[in-house]
Amino acid sequence: MRAILAAACILLLGLPVQAGSDQYGGFEQYADEGSLKPFTRDLGGILGSATFHRGRPLGFSGFDVGARFGGQFRPSKGNEILRRKGVRLFGLPWVQAEIGLPFKLDGFIRGISYQGLTIAGGGLRWGIYSASDKPWAPQFLASAVGHSVVHRAFSASHFGANLVFSAGTPFFAPFIGAGFDRTRLVVRSSTLDPALNGREVTTFEGRYTAGILVKPFQFTYLSLAGTLAHGQPGAEAGLGIRF
């Protein structure tokens, strides 16, 4: 169990540091026409990550708060904004809080100010089946999330949705999810090509997730998952408390 907790801590704390100092800071210097859509796809894939960790809704008055991390193992082909900056692994950490609402709904908010980015987001999840703690009972939910992103050189908005399935015990639950990310980016400043200032681009891409959630203690959980967003592999992790 200590090994599992250590792995989660490495993902949640170590990988954001290893992702590089100011990994998005090369936008103003390296943004050109051909790199805008690949960069937007990669940004959307990160924004849409780590929004769920099982198919069971919280249930009315339930509460969940914790840290999240979503990362991609390498920039997409054509994303010269990150490649010329020397970025390889990249991603974002989050703080996320969730609350159970009536009618099998969960609401959540998330945000971070990190490496020049200020991001605020939130969304809703709806349990297609009622919450159940019966071992291996199938659990399905639909999830929707939106984000607003501000950086000195660009701004962005993101909308994503997922269908999630899980089954397991109260202490261990594998989960899978499939969905999409729609991301809109606006160039605020490009010194490489000033003609791009004010340019808007939009991408719409699929995402797939598979992972596990474990509860080492009564109210504590951790989740680890692999992702495939717009054809690019990545990982996500979560560590928190859930009532």
The structure tokens listed for 193 are 């090509």
Give tens-digit pLDDT for 161-201. Answer: 999 999 999 899 999 999 999 999 999 999 999 999 999 99
Q: What is the mean pLDDT of residues 62-73?
A: 95
pLDDT of residue 186: 98
Cβ-count burial of 219 within 10 angstroms (0-12 exposed, 13-18 middle, 19+ buried)? Answer: exposed
Are 176 and 165 in contact by the 8 Å Cβ rule? The answer is yes
CA dihedral sign of residues 42, 46, 47, 49: positive
Q: What is the mean pLDDT of residues 87-91?
A: 92
Element holding 139 (H helix, E strand): strand 139-150
Q: What is the mean pLDDT of residues 19-31?
A: 81
What does pTM read for this prediction? 0.90
pLDDT of residue 21: 63
pLDDT of residue 131: 84
Are 193 and 223 in contact by the 8 Å Cβ rule? The answer is no
**Could you please report the per-residue DSSP string of 97-118?**
EEEEETTTEEEEEEEEEETTEE
Are 230 and 41 in contact by the 8 Å Cβ rule? The answer is yes
pLDDT of residue 98: 97
Are 72 and 45 in contact by the 8 Å Cβ rule? The answer is yes
Question: Hey, what amino acid is at 119?
Answer: I
Give tens-digit pLDDT for 211-221. Answer: 999 999 889 99
Q: Is the pLDDT of residue 22 over 50?
A: yes
CA 241 distance to own-chain centroid: 18
The structure tokens listed for 12 are 């949640």
Q: What domains are there in the chain, each with its CATH number?
A: 2-242 (2.40.160.20)
CA–CA separation, 197 and 155 (whole Å): 11
